[in-house]
Chain A
Amino acid sequence: MQLRRTLTLTTVGLGLITLTACVALVLSTTFLRRTVDDLDRAQQSARLAASLAHQSIRFELETSPLGRSLSEANGRVLLARLNNLTRSPEERLAVADLSSQLEKHWRSAAKGDVRLAPELVSALVHLDALFATSADAESRHARTIDMVANVLGVAMALLLAAGVLFFLWTINQFVFRPVKRLARSVDRFAAGEMTARAEVRGADEIRRIAIAQNTMADALARTREDQLRYVATVVHDLRNPLAAVQLAVGYVTPKRPLPAEGRIREIFAMIDRQLRRLNSLVGDVLNAVQIESGQIVLRKTTCDLGKLAEESVALFQSMSPYHQLELSCTGSTSLRGDATRLEQVLNNLIGNAVKYSPHGSRVRVTVIGEEDWLSITVSDEGPGVSPALQSQIFRPFSRGPSEHEEVEGIGLGLYVSKRIIEAHGGAIQVSSTDGGGATFQATLPRGLSEARTEPSPALQSTSDERWSSA
């Protein structure tokens, strides 16, 4: 149900009822007025007919010729007025009949015969009866109109009341209640009940709000779920090195002699390894948190991406001599960026390629310098990235499938890399072919033109550019 349409229709409906009631009121009063006029005429006619009868009787009693001629004149005036009041042909016929009878009477009176002829009397009686009937009919008519007006008035009033009640019910049912329910669900959600969802009910407009609220709640709940899962992952990954270190404390107990010197050295080397691992994990988390809250500062200088790639390749080649790392650079590879952060990205991409591909396989690193853009491509011969994982591999704490769980880190590397590349105005993407092998490609704007606008190279190293999380 659309709220706007319903409101419009209800308003139009109520308006029509009111208009009809007004028109009916005007019409009924007009009819009533006419009926009253007719009734008045009938009564007047009856009175005139009675006066004529009275006149005729007096005429008979009048003795002087002057009195008779006055009475006759009076009679003619009454007859003329009566004639004016007649409406129906029947009345006109009766008046004409009376008029001829009276003429006859006056003529015979002039000859000396003043007796009332029985025809005259019967004409008078007939006319009187006619007018009485007419008055009755008009009176009945008036009562009918009154009744119709009453019925119509009550009906209109009931209709109007029903319309108003329907309107109020509609508003309550489709607006107030859904809004109240919506507010309650929003309150519940705000109070921390993550499963609270608004009922999608009521007018279309309110359903739309409820749907929007639910979509938002879903997104928030998902984000929170993700965060909780991330925290669980972080906790789990931090506990592994902690466990090894705490267990190593067990070597030194009052009950047993200390281990041999060589063993102690081994134990401390292990503790050192685990503490470094712990520190690196904590660093990763801090890095991600800083990036997420927009606290990372880019220190841009003019640097050589080819050289950075070379250093990174050399580092991982020394760490993993069983992989064949190949580097090729084409075109000018200098750009404006934060060398430390870009090195972090390169280490992450090349490190991932080494981690996720088998010994003896090749990892190819390609840096290509175009006019305004540079691209870094890192491809490996590992198991590749499934299409499902490709869509979320850059999200924080996503990590490759479980058969690679021996791989270090807590799944923040690609997320951090993506944010660093984006902070430089670039983009990163992953592609994977069937039959294995993943390719990560990052593109970066050269950005050297903006360097020219800056005052001096000495100041460039301190020109911190804050960037916030999108």
Chain B
Amino acid sequence: MASIVLIDDDDDMRETMADLLAIEGHEVRTASNGVEGLQALDDRFPQLVVTDVEMPVLDGCAMVYRMFVENLGRENVPIIVVSGAPDLGQIAKALGTPYYLAKPFPLETLTATIDKALAEAIPPRPPGLLG
């Protein structure tokens, strides 16, 4: 159905999510940190990015900032941030994306959020970077 890049450093979480989204009919590419995620984005723009926040090498927030700052077209890809952090709402607000998923969540919530993000396709607009 849709092309999704999924970034999470937890192998089990990433593979389970990717597998389930593939069963749902999506075309999923995976990455385990922000740098790999950016590479996956460079290969081919997906319709949606689903990313964890706390990751080694380059975390989710830094990755989203870089997508936005480098201004290569990646900044127009909508993003769902996924995290178990208690202040996830704040993180999403700082990134300027309306889509986030607080861990843990059932499959239905994941698919509902993905459907919503694909339908609305609101790209992230970090308020801190908009001047």
Q: Contacts of B105 on A, CB cut-off 8 Å?
A: 243, 246-247
Q: Contacts of A253 on B, CB cut-off 8 Å?
A: 107
Asked if A304 is an interface residue, CB under 8 A from chain B, the answer is no
CA distance A405 to B9 in the complex (A): 9
Judged by DSSP, the binding face of B is loop
Determine whether the beta carbon of B84 is less than 8 Å from that of A238: yes
Asked if A373 is an interface residue, CB under 8 A from chain B, the answer is no
CA distance A235 to B102 in the complex (A): 12
CA distance A154 to B91 in the complex (A): 76
Q: Which of A235, A242, A244 is in CB contact (< 8 Å) with B86?
A: A235
Q: Which residues of B from 1 to 29 have beta carbons under 8 Å from A?
A: 9-10, 12-13, 15-17, 20, 23
Q: Contacts of A238 on B, CB cut-off 8 Å?
A: 84
Which residue, of A246, A274, A404, has the highest number of chain B Cβ atoms within 10 A? A246
Which residue, of A235, A239, A247, A270, has the highest number of chain B Cβ atoms within 10 A? A247
State how many angstroms separate the Cβ of A135 from the closest Cβ of chain B: 102
State how many angstroms separate the Cβ of B58 from the closest Cβ of chain A: 10
Determine whether the beta carbon of B9 is less than 8 Å from that of A247: no
> Range of interface residues on chain A?
20 to 34
Beyond A236-B84, A239-B104, whether A405 also contacts B10 by CB under 8 A is no
Chain A 219-261, CB-CB to B under 8 Å as 1, else 0, gives: 0000000000000100111111011111111110100100000
State how many angstroms separate the Cβ of A271 from the closest Cβ of chain B: 9
Asked if B51 is an interface residue, CB under 8 A from chain A, the answer is no
Q: Which of A236, A251, A256, A404 is in CB contact (< 8 Å) with B56?
A: A404
Asked if B85 is an interface residue, CB under 8 A from chain A, the answer is yes
Asked if A371 is an interface residue, CB under 8 A from chain B, the answer is no
Asked if B116 is an interface residue, CB under 8 A from chain A, the answer is no
Asked if B83 is an interface residue, CB under 8 A from chain A, the answer is yes
Q: Which residues of B from 100 to 121 have beta carbons under 8 Å from A?
A: 102-108, 110
Q: Contacts of A250 on B, CB cut-off 8 Å?
A: 20, 106-108, 110
Beyond A236-B86, A243-B103, whether A405 also contacts B12 by CB under 8 A is no
Which residue, of B9, B23, B103, B108, has the highest number of chain A Cβ atoms within 10 A? B103
State how many angstroms separate the Cβ of A402 from the closest Cβ of chain B: 7
Determine whether the beta carbon of B84 is less than 8 Å from that of A235: yes
Asked if A450 is an interface residue, CB under 8 A from chain B, the answer is no
Q: Which residues of B from 52 to 108 have beta carbons under 8 Å from A?
A: 54-57, 59, 83-87, 102-108
Determine whether the beta carbon of A405 is less than 8 Å from that of B55: yes
Closest to A403 in B: B56
Q: Contacts of A251 on B, CB cut-off 8 Å?
A: 20
Determine whether the beta carbon of A245 is less than 8 Å from that of B104: yes
Q: Contacts of B15 on A, CB cut-off 8 Å?
A: 270
Q: Which of B9, B103, B104, B108 is in CB contact (< 8 Å) with A406?
A: B9
Q: Contacts of A402 on B, CB cut-off 8 Å?
A: 54, 56, 59
Asked if A143 is an interface residue, CB under 8 A from chain B, the answer is no
Determine whether the beta carbon of A244 is less than 8 Å from that of B10: yes
Determine whether the beta carbon of B56 is less than 8 Å from that of A240: no
Q: Which residues of B contact A (CB under 8 A)?
A: 9-10, 12-13, 15-17, 20, 23, 54-57, 59, 83-87, 102-108, 110
Q: A237-B84, A403-B57 are in contact. List 4 more A-B contacts (CB 8 A).
A: A247-B106, A250-B107, A270-B15, A405-B56
5 tightest Cβ-Cβ pairs between the two chains A and B: A250-B107, A239-B84, A243-B103, A243-B104, A246-B104
28 example contacts (A-B, Cβ-Cβ < 8 A) are as follows A236-B54, A236-B84, A236-B85, A239-B84, A239-B102, A240-B84, A242-B103, A245-B104, A246-B106, A247-B13, A247-B16, A247-B17, A247-B105, A247-B107, A248-B16, A249-B107, A250-B20, A250-B108, A253-B107, A267-B16, A270-B12, A270-B16, A273-B12, A402-B56, A402-B59, A403-B57, A405-B54, A406-B9
Q: Which residues of A contact B (CB under 8 A)?
A: 232, 235-240, 242-251, 253, 256, 267, 270, 273-274, 402-406
